[in-house]
Amino acid sequence: MDHRYVLAVSSQVPLWIPIAVALLGLAGVIVAQLLNNRREELRWRREREARSHDARATAYAEVIGVIEAFDMVLFENRNAREAAQPINRDDLKEAAGETRRALGPVNLHAPEAVRVLLSKAILPRMYLVRQILKDETDPTTLRPEWDKAQVGYRVLRAEMRRDLGLDAEDLSEL
């Protein structure tokens, strides 16, 4: 047998093998790119959700702080009106204004359920301010409005906490 012939036969590779290897390599590059794109998309989505969560948490904290400060002013002035004592009109107006200003970020970032509850917590307070500021208001009408505002706030706060993934007050007794 001629050694040159054996060498020539064994050194020849069928054409389909390099083509198959090239196609497998190309497929590997494409699959790797698809997987990388998927990972990037998931990372971007997680970052976006984290930013949204942080924005909601900040907006919720601000509006809760403003409502609680508002309640202190309302409580003092409601008690003053019930006791026929002078009220602090400037504090009432300032607290109402601060509350209105704090609503923007919550309305922007919060889900619809929170936005609906926000009005149920804020509107009774605004009505209460108007009633306290009126000199002819019957003071006995103030407490039911106060109670309504407090229930609205508790429901709002519980929904905000649930939205953030925190424990929330059990409101079954309301």
Distance CA 63, CA 98 (A): 9
Residue 1 has what pLDDT? 53
Q: How would DSSP label each residue in the chain?
A: --HHHHHHHHH---THHHHHHHHHHHHHHHHHHHHHHHHHHHHHHHHHHHHHHHHHHHHHHHHHHHHHHHHHHHHHHHHHHHTT----HHHHHHHHHHHHHHHHHHHHHS-HHHHHHHHHHHHHHHHHHHHHH-TT--GGGHHHHHHHHHHHHHHHHHHHHHHTT------TT-
Specify whether the CB–CB gap between 82 and 139 falls below 8 A: yes
Residue 46 has what pLDDT? 92
CATH code of 54-163, in short, is 1.20.120.1730
What is the domain partition of the chain in residue ranges? 54-163
- List per-residue pLDDT tens for the chain, 174 residues long: 555 554 455 568 899 999 999 999 999 999 999 999 999 999 999 999 999 999 999 999 999 999 999 999 999 999 999 999 999 999 999 999 999 999 999 999 999 999 999 999 999 999 999 999 998 889 999 999 999 999 999 999 999 999 999 999 998 887
Residue 102, Cβ neighbours under 10 Å: how many? 19
